[in-house]
Amino acid sequence: MKLIIEENEQKMSESTMQILLGAMMQDKRVNISLTAGNSPKMLYQMMIPYVKDQEKFKDIQYYLFDEAPYFGEKKGEPGPNWVEMQELFFKEAHIPDDHIHIPVMENWETYDQEIREAGGIDVMLIGLGWDGHFCSNCPRCTPMDSYTYAMDRKIKNAVNPTYPERPLQPYSLTMGPKSLMRVKHLVMIVTGKEKAEIFKKFLDTPITDELPSTVLKLHPNFTVICDKDAASLLNMEDYKRL
């Protein structure tokens, strides 16, 4: 694992953008996976002018790593991850819908194989969840030896009672830990003082399903980029080995 601590969120976003754009410049089909959430907002605003309507990036394929599809009265509507990524990046960057791939009830069982046949994910950007989750791999219910899987929301909420009820989204579909181990370059971004405590726990805690993100430290090409606020609880003498 490579740990990079930048001065602030802007510097962190600039470093991350260099990694993503570098991967996208390869002379082949490039598959990337991006995260929603607050952490990458500045990054995406920086990236949009570089990507929008650029011929050299017109064949990039984007793979979302999780979704919570709607059932019942909202069945058929786009899921929240699709919608959020459209708002954060895809719409403004003019990414065509047919270049965006996402797990749904009809394909989650074959999603990993489809990605593998397409050449694999070249680079994936993820965040660190407030309770140590990554993608939709949550505490106490993540099958640590799983590829993409469907999790019953009732099971997830039973062991995480603070999670909100979502009766119209009974399942979460997510790439599991083994899916991420296949990614060629895994990049995590962490920003802000509100993430400082969970970030320290992530770095210090042995691998456990109480903190699912800890398993990512086994990835052979894992880069973690944070700002000084997120790193504010770290004793850097303890992390020189990283």
* Cβ contact 222:186 at 8 Å: yes
Helix, coil or strand: residue 87: helix
Q: Is 66 a catalytic residue?
A: yes
Degrees, nearest 5: CA angle 229-190-37: 120
Catalytic residue among 59, 98, 99, 131: 131
Which is nearest to 169 in space by CA: 182, 184, 154, 189? 154
* Cβ contact 214:207 at 8 Å: yes
Catalytic residue among 122, 133, 219, 229: 133
* Cβ contact 112:179 at 8 Å: yes
Which is nearest to 82 in space by CA: 173, 187, 191? 173
Total Cβ atoms within 10 A of residue 186: 23
Distances (CA, A) of 1 to 17, 95, 160, 178, 179: 19, 31, 29, 17, 18
Q: Find how far residue 3's CA is from the centre of its chain.
A: 17
- Element containing residue 196 per DSSP (H, E): helix 196-204
Catalytic residue among 66, 122, 209, 227: 66
* Cβ contact 152:170 at 8 Å: yes
Catalytic residues: 66, 131, 133
